[in-house]
Amino acid sequence: MSTRARLRVAVLAGGRSAEHEVSLSSGRAVHEGLQSAGHEVLWVQIERDGAWRHEDRLLSVCPGEGLLGADVVFGALHGPFGEDGTVQGMLETLDVAYVGAGVAASALCMDKVLFKQLMGAAGVDQVEYIGIRERRWRTARAQVLAEIVGLGLPVFVKPAHLGSSVGIVKVTETERLGEALEQAFEHDVLAIVEALGDGVEVECGVLEPAFASEPGEIVFKGDWYDYTAKYTPGGMELRLPARITEGARKRVKELAVEAFEHAGCEGLARVDFFVNGEKVLVNELNTMPGFTPTSVYAKLMGASGIAYPELLSRLCRLAIERHEQRSLS
């Protein structure tokens, strides 16, 4: 593993997904944090049309030749075409170290339905859900609606491959289910409908190999934790320590690491929960959580004794170590 104090890090930000602006904000924060840690940082912006640019010029790459001579790539990308294994596969082809989950884990965790199926097979307690493909909705509408109603209202209807609460609708009336599904299908051919999770929303950060942060409680002003609450300053409060029992706190940390390992994640992740008394339910796992000034992951790690510049440096060095180990195998 490289022991040089100063690394050359390429930060990828932007991307083709609906989370483009969130990614740019994450990327800028990562850029500043890495610079403050003493590293050389190269900015690579992926435009909405998929073009890669560096210093206002189109960037061309060649398999096996790395990326701009960087020691490691920090892909501050969210959503499809960034967090779903596609860019990770490209970086594997370029033979360059990169922060975060690999191709398979990225693809798995980006698919909310597939992730929940894996957690179910592993015996992990989670929120009740139904996955619905657009094709089935078009051909078996009455049956689909009956299954959703069986979850009990309210429910949350989501595109299966987006994050940051993009495209999510809370539905409290049966008559609004069709409209909510149509909205989800504008973003994705696969939707997920989740039952209302009981209790408080709690999030826990994981850092490879098996470090779980102190759990934090998400407190928000609105009816639910939507896009506005996540990305508007003052829209949410991260309460540390979370107002949960000691038993629930330990269980959250255990389940965060278990979910991370079951999914085959690497580097980092944020795992989201619903906690009601001693009952702990896994909701989602995010392989590249937001790194904006209002994002939770860095705050969780900071509260657990890992400052932001140190966190970024550690993630980069973990990525380099993993890349070197794979090169030897």
Catalytic residues: 19, 164, 231, 270, 272, 284, 286, 290
Distance (Å, whole) CA 30 – CA 13? 10
Cis status, amide bond into 63, omega within 30 of 0:
no
The rounded distance, in Å, linking the Cα atoms of 276 and 263 is 25
Amino acid at 74: F
CA angle 155, 157, 159 (to 5 degrees): 160
Q: How far is the first Cα of the chain from the last one, in angstroms, to the nearest whole number?
A: 15
- The Cα-based distances of 259 to 98, 140, 216 in angstroms read 21, 33, 17
CA angle 183, 189, 195 (to 5 degrees): 65
Please state the φ and ψ torsions of residue 129, each to the nearest 5 degrees: -155, 165
Q: Which helix (H) or strand (E) holds 304?
A: none
Strand order in the sheet with 129-133: 129-133, 190-195, 155-159, 169-171
Q: Are 185 and 137 in contact (CB under 8 A)?
A: yes
Pair 202, 271: CB distance under 8 Å: no
Smallest CA-to-CA distance from 273 within 261, 263, 285 is with 285
Residue 147 φ/ψ, nearest 5 degrees: -65, -40
Phi, psi of 62 (to 5 degrees): -130, 130
